[in-house]
Amino acid sequence: LEPRLNETQLRYKDIQYFFSVIYGNFQGAVQYSDDNVAGYRRGGNIRSVCAIMTNSSLTYLDRIQQVNIYMTEFFGQPFYSTFNDYDELIRVLQDETYDIYGEDAAFRSWIWQTCTEFGYFQSTDQGRNIFGSVTPDNLYIDMCIDAFGSAYKVQAIENSIHKTNKYYGGRAHFKGTNVVLINGNVDPWHALGLYSSIQPSVVPILIAGTAHCADMYADATDDLPSLTAARQTIEDNLNKWINGKAARKATNQMRKLVTKRKPFMSSLMNLQLKPFKEATSETEVVPSHIPKFFMGRPVRGFIGEPGVPSKIVDYPKDFIAGTITMPVDHFDATNTNTFQQRYWYNPQYYKPDGPQFLYIGGESTADIKWVTNPDVQIMSAARKFNAAVYLLEHRYYGESWPTPDQSTENMRFLSSKQALADLAQFIMTMNKQFYANPRWITFGGSYPGMLSAWFRQFYPELSVGALASSAPIEAKVDFYDYLIVVENSLRTYSPKCANNVKVAFDQLHNLSLTPDGRVQLSALFTLRPAWTTTSNVTYVDIQNFFMNMYGHFQSAVQYNNDNRGAYATGGGMRELCGFMMNDAKTPLQNLVDVNVYMTKFFNDGVFEYTDNNYQNYVNYLKDVNAKSSSRSWTYQTCTEFGFYQSTDIGDNIFGSPVPLNFFIDMCTDVFGARFTPQFVFNAVEETQKYYGGRDYFYGTNVLFTNGNIDPWCALSKYDGTGSVTTIMINGTAHCADTYPPREQDAPGLASARQLAEEKIAEWLGT
């Protein structure tokens, strides 16, 4: 290596760049394998590198070394050393001199386009793979910043890529005609190709056994039959375009994808009311060692309990707890299984001809305080508009279970599509039994906010409007934006606090590199199981530890000063930054204090140790009989949404310790080998295609509210037009507008709540 690793600073980027250089040999061999160009038919291909890697006379490390030498010499250069200088690479990229014959100028130009239009960063963020978890997106994001300046941070890159996709449509919204799109299935770039189109003149071809642009090179006698056939298809289409009829005008790729529900007749049954105090205290029982905040979600759900005023000691008059019979599968007519879904009804403010308000239950046990506390948003609006108020528990949460257990097979009936169909079935049943002229408005925050908005998009005939608070309708596998907002919120609160967090996490990184350093970390944070000098500490162990540490700051920012539970008086940026700015201690010692404080915050004031066992959490999620909301929600992230909060954001205060791999591996570990990276990416892409994300949201009469402190605002909608209204509330966090008002509220909250009531009046025509 030139320079040797021990001659570098061993920054994240130094280690990441080294690995990218080594596995880059395999990228080149695969990408051009057997292409009829530059000698790839004779060597430098998959056969060549695999012959070395299967040579049992060499150690595995020696095989990697020999591949490195072979690929260097394949390109016509004698091997002397392996270039390993990230800083020298940046100096080359920073050279603005244009050289018509040199490679450096072209290199700078292309890297510029990746940073400003395309991305295309080839990270190892793909779950378990043969190269490991070694090079996250951070390396390439840092490269953009280091080469072109601080304006090219991850958010700028993300915005540029978003504009590119919106302008050209990506593959889901491609509008071209008379196009043949050819890819080889060996070529890594084919993963971003287009393979289906509603345009008859758009012809996708995936050529079996070929690599990058194989169809463009000269014919060879040993060409694969699939390549010969592809060239014939190209020729046929050229002839058609030149001599045939003009193609029909392009139409939007977006189709109405609503899945048709089967006919079903529901029945209602009243339940005996539990004692009020017991009912308002109902919550999921969670083992004490389980992390209380994980993947941006408190262990008992995104929406916290709003509390009930002390003067409210019993149910309102005529309050009902009941169940509705629901189909396990709304879309399969051959599946006749049903289940009982819980709901609650509060008529205390209802008057004849009044509207109906439905609070949508989310990924936790339904909390009846949302329909009994007179000061929460939905109840305050019900009082003003004389509305009947309902709460429907989400399937696979609380006590609404379509199947006997949570086996992966049984969980196939858990999806947002099924949940939306539940809402539709519930409303139609209530209309049939009780309302001649119904006017339903749905309320939801966080995931239920997504459902509230999507209900207007897919079932507009069943409601007149929707409130969607902190609703991230943009599904995304690598939700690195989350930690950008966390850092920005901390910096806005106190630059010193954010800087000290960075110093502390840099120290964590340095200590995590050596056995002695890990022993020190173990003692500082009271880790269980403890790390010793002989512990076999894996990538996952390190990633799990770091995620638990920065999770404290996620929680503090996400619910900062929300008027909900303990967050109303603590657990926010004020408290954590108070620790981090203690000049009597080092930033690392301050982080230790943050860890103790947040553990006590979630654990009734008790701190015994820091659970540091990834497998413990996986085992908890794998329990198919626990009726765990965390298992259900994790399943939805793996099969629909992603939302994985990695540190893949370039230079940031937390470093580069937790790549996307960590979360995708968890899908595999919890739900089985079928849940590969490709499965997760395809699932999220299907969600985007079905719902349209924020760019192709077609609902009407929707109010999207977000707080600019809340990290989830990054995936919500904030460019509403027509009857879709969007508002960003300055200085507030997750779903803040849904909780009861108080004197300490940020000024923008009152106006946001007022706007919500104005929109409700508009939708109701009052």
734 is known as an active-site residue = yes
Predicted local distance difference test score (pLDDT) of residue 532: 95
Can you name the residues that pair with 171 across neighbouring β-strands?
Answer: none
Q: For residues 573 and 560, is the Cβ–Cβ distance under 8 A?
A: yes
**Whole-angstrom Cα distance, residue 68 to residue 488?**
42
**Whole-angstrom Cα distance, residue 13 to residue 712?**
28
Q: Residue ranges of the chain with pLDDT lower than 70?
A: 246-258
DSSP assignment letter at 357: E
**Whole-angstrom Cα distance, residue 290 to residue 313?**
33
Distance of CA 582 to the CA centre of its chain: 34
DSSP assignment letter at 455: H
Q: In which element (H, E) is residue 280 found? A: none
DSSP assignment letter at 216: G
Q: For residues 93 and 108, is the Cβ–Cβ distance under 8 A?
A: yes
**Domain ranges for the chain:** 12-168, 179-243, 315-473+697-764, 477-691
The letter for the amino acid at 698 is: Y
Predicted local distance difference test score (pLDDT) of residue 247: 62
Handedness of CA 512, 516, 521, 526 (dihedral sign): positive
Model-level pTM? 0.88
* Fold for the domain defined by 315-473+697-764: Rossmann fold (3.40.50)
Can you name the residues that pair with 183 across neighbouring β-strands?
Answer: 206
Question: Which tokens in the block code for residue 690?
Answer: 């079905």
**Whole-angstrom Cα distance, residue 450 to residue 593?**
36
Instruction: Report helix, strand and coil shares of the chain as percent, to nearest 5.
Output: 45, 10, 45
Q: For residues 118 and 2, is the Cβ–Cβ distance under 8 A?
A: no
- The 10s digit of each residue's pLDDT in 361-400 is 999 999 999 999 999 999 999 999 999 999 999 999 999 9
Among 187, 665, 710, 745, which one carries the catalytic annotation?
Answer: 710
Predicted local distance difference test score (pLDDT) of residue 295: 81
- Using alpha carbons, list the distances in angstroms from residue 532 to 511, 520, 526, 591: 13, 9, 12, 21
Predicted local distance difference test score (pLDDT) of residue 203: 94
Among 212, 394, 552, 734, which one carries the catalytic annotation?
Answer: 734
DSSP assignment letter at 371: G
Q: Measuring CA to CA, which residue among 276, 254, 249, 252 is closest to residue 344?
A: 276
Predicted local distance difference test score (pLDDT) of residue 565: 78
DSSP assignment letter at 79: -
DSSP assignment letter at 699: -
Q: What is the 3-state secondary structure (H, E, C) of 312-333?
A: CCCCCCCCEEEEEEEECCCCCC
Q: In which element (H, E) is residue 92 found? A: helix 86-94
710 is known as an active-site residue = yes
Q: Measuring CA to CA, which residue among 355, 652, 328 is closest to residue 486?
A: 652
Can you name the residues that pair with 725 across neighbouring β-strands?
Answer: 703
**Whole-angstrom Cα distance, residue 32 to residue 210?**
8
**Whole-angstrom Cα distance, residue 396 to residue 406?**
8
Can you name the residues that pair with 339 across neighbouring β-strands?
Answer: 326
Question: Which tokens in the block code for residue 120?
Answer: 């295309």
* Fold for the domain defined by 477-691: Four Helix Bundle (Hemerythrin (Met), subunit A) (1.20.120)
For the chain, give the mean pLDDT: 93
Q: Strand pairing of 388-392 and 293-294?
A: unpaired
Among 446, 463, 629, 646, which one carries the catalytic annotation?
Answer: 446
Half-sphere exposure in the Cβ direction for 366 (13 Å, CA): 27
Question: Which tokens in the block code for residue 753?
Answer: 């709540």
